[in-house]
Amino acid sequence: MKEPIIKVSNLSHRYNVQWAVKDISFEFNTKGIYGLLGANGAGKSTLMNIMCGVLNQTHGEIHINGISLRDNPVEAKKHIGFLPQQPPLQPELTIEEYLTYCAHLRLMPEASIKTAVQEVMEKCKISHFAKRIIKNLSGGYQQRVGIAQAIIHRPDFIVLDEPTNGLDPNQILEVRSLIKEIAEERTVLLSTHILQEVQALCDDIWMINEGHIIFSGSLDEFDNYIMPSMFNVTLLAGPSTEELAAIPGIVGVETVGNTKYRLQFDNNRDIIENFVKISVARDWRLVEISLEKNSLNTVFAELSRKKTKQLN
Ligand SMILES: Nc1ncnc2c1ncn2[C@@H]1O[C@H](COP(=O)(O)OP(=O)(O)OP(=O)(O)O)[C@@H](O)[C@H]1O
């Protein structure tokens, strides 16, 4: 049977008395982009540093393609690429010099290095700047070089820690498109505290809060995890707010202009169907009705609140 690309088992880490990461387990078996979402201080960098062999965990095991990172770190690291929050660039070197240096650090066979450097520069669309000194590149191009160093040794598993942090909107789009291309052939774990980032890029989401994984699933599952609690209606011959508030299941009424209402409901899943029936029966001239989808921000805040409550 094929080993998981990455397997994390009962991983915990503490810097001092406080656990930064506590009893985390998961595995990735497919290519694509996995989002690791969490607020500042949630434990993302700690988890990523451990997964990339930069930090030794207090407890637990990591296996990359079946190789133990603790027992066989040199072999395991051949399968991992890492772009930390601060890309480990050498500002005085040219792109080509720097990537050649990285290839040596990655213990690549000497004969394969020149081709690997050319290939990775093409992949990351930086070949035209091969001879340019890194410190003279824009933030977006520096980040491309950071990504290039993470994939030069052709690892199966790439970890990107906040890869679009500090970039302008155009650079963000360019780096995102590069990440998508890279993930067609590999498994990418992308850490971010930006919800739009996971929305734009990720197939699956892991959410971490206070060192615990509090959600894992697809983007749709994440979005729908908490049932919407509001819906909006347009009633051309609407009743008084009192009459609306008296409908069983409605717990709040807000008027938005002359014909529009925003209604809050309890956990009654049949509310929309019931509301339509009542509107027709009472001739309110219903012309529009829509559930208000929770924004990812709302879900994020609610999940954090739920989990913190459970842990206390
Ligand atoms: N070197 C360290 N020594 C002591 N505590 C640390 C150290 N690094 C991180 N921590 C603590 O561990 C917890 C998790 O931090 P971590 O940096 O992993 O979170 P994060 O989700 O990556 O946040 P950010 O997005 O701000 O980097 C925090 O409470 C942080 O203060």
pLDDT tens-digit readout, 66-91: 999 999 999 999 999 999 988 889 99
Cβ(42) – ligand 1 distance below 6 Å: yes
Q: Is 45 near ligand 1, meaning CB less than 6 Å away?
A: yes
- pLDDT beyond 80 at 120: yes
Which ligand 1 atom is the nearest neighbour of the CA of 47? Answer: 18
User: Facing residues of 253 across strands?
Assistant: 263
Which residue from 192, 193, 190, 120 is spatially nearest to 160, judged by alpha carbons? Answer: 190
pLDDT band at 179 (very low <50, low <70, confident <90, very high): very high
Q: Is the CB of 41 under 6 A from ligand 1?
A: yes
Distance 76 CA to ligand 1 centre (A): 25
Ligand 1, atom nearest to 45 Cα:
22
Contact 108, 116 (CB under 8 A): yes
Percent of the chain clearing pLDDT 70 (strictly above): 92
ipTM of the complex: 0.95
Distance from the Cα of residue 30 to its chain's centroid? 16
Instruction: State both tokens at 7.
Output: 């397997």
The residue whose CA has the least distance to atom 14 of ligand 1 is: 43
Pocket test for ligand 1, best of 11, 13, 15, 159 (most atoms within 8 A of CB): 15
CA 41 / ligand 1 centre spacing (Å): 5
What span, in angstroms and rounded, lies between the C-alpha atoms of 114 and 15? 41
86 C-beta closer than 6 A to ligand 1: no
pLDDT greater than 80 at residue 109: yes
Q: Is the CB of 15 under 6 A from ligand 1?
A: yes
Cα–Cα distance between 18 and 43 in angstroms, integer?
Answer: 11
Is the CB of residue 223 less than 8 Å from the CB of residue 192? no
Mean pLDDT of 152-162: 94
Task: Please write the tens of the pLDDT for every residue from 284-307.
Answer: 999 999 988 666 566 667 766 666
pLDDT confidence band for 255 (50 / 70 / 90): very high
Q: pLDDT averaged over the chain? A: 89
Q: Is 197 helix (H, G, I), strand (E, B) or coil?
A: helix
Give the pairing type, strands 80-83 and 286-291: unpaired
The conformation of residue 39, written as its DSSP 8-state character, comes to -
Ligand 1 geometric centre to CA of 42 (Å):
7
- Give the span between the Cα atoms of 90 and 71, in whole angstroms: 30
Cα(20) to ligand 1 centroid in Å equals 7
Does 24 sit in the ligand 1 pocket, CB within 6 Å? no
